[in-house]
Structure 1
Amino acid sequence: MTYRLSVQRMIITRKAKDFFSSTAFARQRPHEVLPEVVYRHNSLIRRKLGNVDLHLQENKAVSLGIAAPLINSMVIRPGETFSFWKLVGSCTEAKGYREGLVINHGRADSGIGGGLCQFTNLLHWMVLHSELTVVEHHHHGDLDLFPDFNRQIPFGSGTSIIYNYLDYRVRNDTDQAYQFLVTTTEEHLCGELRAERVPTVKFHIREEDAYFHEADGNVYRHNKVVRLTRDKRTGLVTSKEQIIENNALVVYDRSLINAPILPERPSPETDELLTAATA
């Protein structure tokens, strides 16, 4: 009861904060599609995640199918902020959402609407390849919960969401509108980020200093996720920024790790060698 009351307090607090805020939230979903593709990505819906019940994966597919039309075609105009929960709302059985995978106190569990973090993972990955500004982002950076299965993006670059106080929000500080196109197929959650004009820069996200290491009888996964900005006209890299650094506790069987496990965390000098090797 205490936990539920605490959750409700957090939900009400967020609603009150938004009500009195001057933030202009994106609300328009026109039928027109913006002309230029900034980035597109398809995310596999059913993935092998350790011993997670496959039934939860099927349920996730249903929940993603319900949420996708609520985001599809959403335009973020200059000065506006995109809020995932503002558009999707609460996930309830009455709306058709089903039990899916959730993370509860560092372990896999199930809950209504579970698996929607895959949706914000997709949005975040596309946004990182644009000039949009991420203003709210949470992730499971302290734990490596599942062994890799056809991983397409760097570890630790995903998102964590809980209605409505852990949100995913993006602000448009540019001088042109952007638009999310999101649909589902039998196998994939498909996304496109579009804009009015072709951007003058291109972004590349990569992983550096990636390794597993042992400490106090536990195994940890370390990496850095960095973003390179490249001028399309000259082809030169104009900036490099570190998005996040992860040092996550591995909670699955170490026999499932398809990489060497170092006896201890490398020194800064070894880190530089690892960076050079993965660059």
Structure 2
Amino acid sequence: MNLKRTNNGILKRPDMRPKERSNIRVFAGRMVYTLKRYLYWYGSGVKFAHKKEDIIHYKEVISQHQTPLIRKLRKVDMWLQQNKITNLRIGIERINGLVLYPGETFSYWKQIGKPRKKDGFVEGMVLFYGGFKPGIGGGLCQLSNLIYWMTLHTPLTIVERWRHSYDVFPDADRTQPFGSGATCSYNYIDLQIKNETSQPMQLYLYLTETDLVGEWRSTEAIEDRYEVYEKEHYIQQEYWGGYTRHNQIYRRRYGHSGVLLNDEFVAENHAVMMYEPLLESKANS
């Protein structure tokens, strides 16, 4: 949801009051969008990345990031996080080593495929309309979040990314700006990245005992460096009684010797808060 301007030029935020939808409507909508995504994958003419290569050919680390596998989350059973690690391991097996050649596009879900129990995926935590529930493949959003954040620190182009509509947990131990992740849900809430550079890029992913780790690598070093930050962050109480959270994500690109080359808008985030703002203040104190 983007901010819209009224006739007098004043910015108007979207109405974010949560809307209840029937199970039938949710199911029908999911089927329609799933079919449209399959048609896009196989009929759009987009060249999707699919080839993997040995990591030895890609020695230059362009971007690296890691996130903890286990977090202490209120009201979340620990077995859901343990199962998440199983799902991440399978997801990594399907993506690790993938090469994104110039002109190709990486599709998160096209590469991973549908999470199915028969393929080893288990129930993990799935965010659902401001809450969470067990779901096959739950926890794979941590992998899409990681890839998105790493990509913001490379010259690759993000062509599709979805933000979270709900802010479910307080900012305890948060090290990145609010809204700097990429939610995912098979198959149409996807993360897609295009290589518009002149050199191939490879995804290298693995698990340690405590963290999910990822790298974008290439055959040649890239001199440019990137800094991601937020602007216009605020929390507001709405007329319907709840709270919403908003910000904008920007990115600075630095060239040789630290010269600022560009400062660009990346994304705008709006989310319904599922906790009292006071909890966030306590978490950050």
TM-score, length-scaled by structure 2? 0.84
Structure 1 residue 11, shift from structure 2 partner: 2.1
> After superposition, what is the alpha-carbon deviation per residue over 1:177-219, rounded to whole angstroms, capped at 9, x for unaligned?
0010001122111101111211131111112333434343433
Aligned match of 2:271: 248
Aligned match of 1:161: 184
Residues in 2 aligned to 1:14 and 1:91: alpha-carbon distance in whole angstroms? 16
User: Which amino acid in 2 is paired with 1:135?
Assistant: V
Matching of residue 18 in structure 1 with residue 46 in structure 2:
no
User: Which amino acid in 2 is paired with 1:161?
Assistant: C
Trace 1:97-116 onto structure 2 (pairs within 5 A): 97-116=121-140
Aligned match of 1:87: 111
User: Which amino acid in 2 is paired with 1:199?
Assistant: I
Residues in 2 aligned to 1:159 and 1:15: alpha-carbon distance in whole angstroms? 20
Residues in 2 aligned to 1:9 and 1:81: alpha-carbon distance in whole angstroms? 23
> After superposition, what is the alpha-carbon deviation per residue over 1:89-116, rounded to whole angstroms, capped at 9, x for unaligned?
0001111111111122222222111110
Flag the 1:43–1:66 CA change in 2: closer, same or farther, 3 A: same
Flag the 1:139–1:85 CA change in 2: closer, same or farther, 3 A: same
Residues in 1 aligned to 2:60 and 2:45: alpha-carbon distance in whole angstroms? 30
Secondary structure at 1:65 match in 2 = helix
Aligned match of 1:67: 91
Structure 1 residue 165, shift from structure 2 partner: 1.2
User: Which amino acid in 2 is paired with 1:153?
Assistant: Q
Number of matched pairs = 258
Residues in 2 aligned to 1:259 and 1:242: alpha-carbon distance in whole angstroms? 30
Aligned match of 2:20: none
Greater shift in the superposed pair: 219-228 or 80-89: 219-228
Secondary structure at 2:132 match in 1 = strand
Trace 1:162-177 onto structure 2 (pairs within 5 A): 162-177=185-200
User: Which amino acid in 1 is paired with 2:267?
Assistant: I
Structure 1 residue 39, shift from structure 2 partner: 1.0
Residues in 2 aligned to 1:107 and 1:211: alpha-carbon distance in whole angstroms? 22
Check the 8 A contact 1:79/1:172 in 2, yes or no: yes
Check the 8 A contact 1:44/1:188 in 2, yes or no: yes
Aligned match of 2:5: none
Trace 1:87-236 onto structure 2 (pairs within 5 A): 87-140=111-164, 142-216=165-239, 217-231=241-255, 233-236=256-259
TM-score, length-scaled by structure 1? 0.86
Check the 8 A contact 1:101/1:108 in 2, yes or no: yes
Flag the 1:9–1:95 CA change in 2: closer, same or farther, 3 A: same
Residues in 2 aligned to 1:167 and 1:245: alpha-carbon distance in whole angstroms? 17
Uncovered stretches (5+) of structure 1, i.e. residues with no partner: 261-279
> After superposition, what is the alpha-carbon deviation per residue over 1:100-152, rounded to whole angstroms, capped at 9, x for unaligned?
11122222222111110110000001100000001111111x32110112112
Aligned match of 2:73: 49
Uncovered stretches (5+) of structure 2, i.e. residues with no partner: 1-22
> After superposition, what is the alpha-carbon deviation per residue over 1:20-50, rounded to whole angstroms, capped at 9, x for unaligned?
1211111111124302101111111111233
Check the 8 A contact 2:106/2:193 in 1, yes or no: yes
Residues in 1 aligned to 2:36 and 2:121: alpha-carbon distance in whole angstroms? 24
Residues in 1 aligned to 2:235 and 2:38: alpha-carbon distance in whole angstroms? 41
Structure 1 residue 259, shift from structure 2 partner: 6.6
Secondary structure at 1:257 match in 2 = helix
Aligned match of 2:13: none
Structure 1 residue 17, shift from structure 2 partner: 2.1
Flag the 1:238–1:146 CA change in 2: closer, same or farther, 3 A: same
Secondary structure at 1:66 match in 2 = helix
Residues in 2 aligned to 1:185 and 1:32: alpha-carbon distance in whole angstroms? 18
Check the 8 A contact 1:63/1:116 in 2, yes or no: yes
Flag the 1:245–1:9 CA change in 2: closer, same or farther, 3 A: closer
Residues in 1 aligned to 2:269 and 2:45: alpha-carbon distance in whole angstroms? 34
Aligned match of 2:30: 7
Check the 8 A contact 2:103/2:195 in 1, yes or no: yes
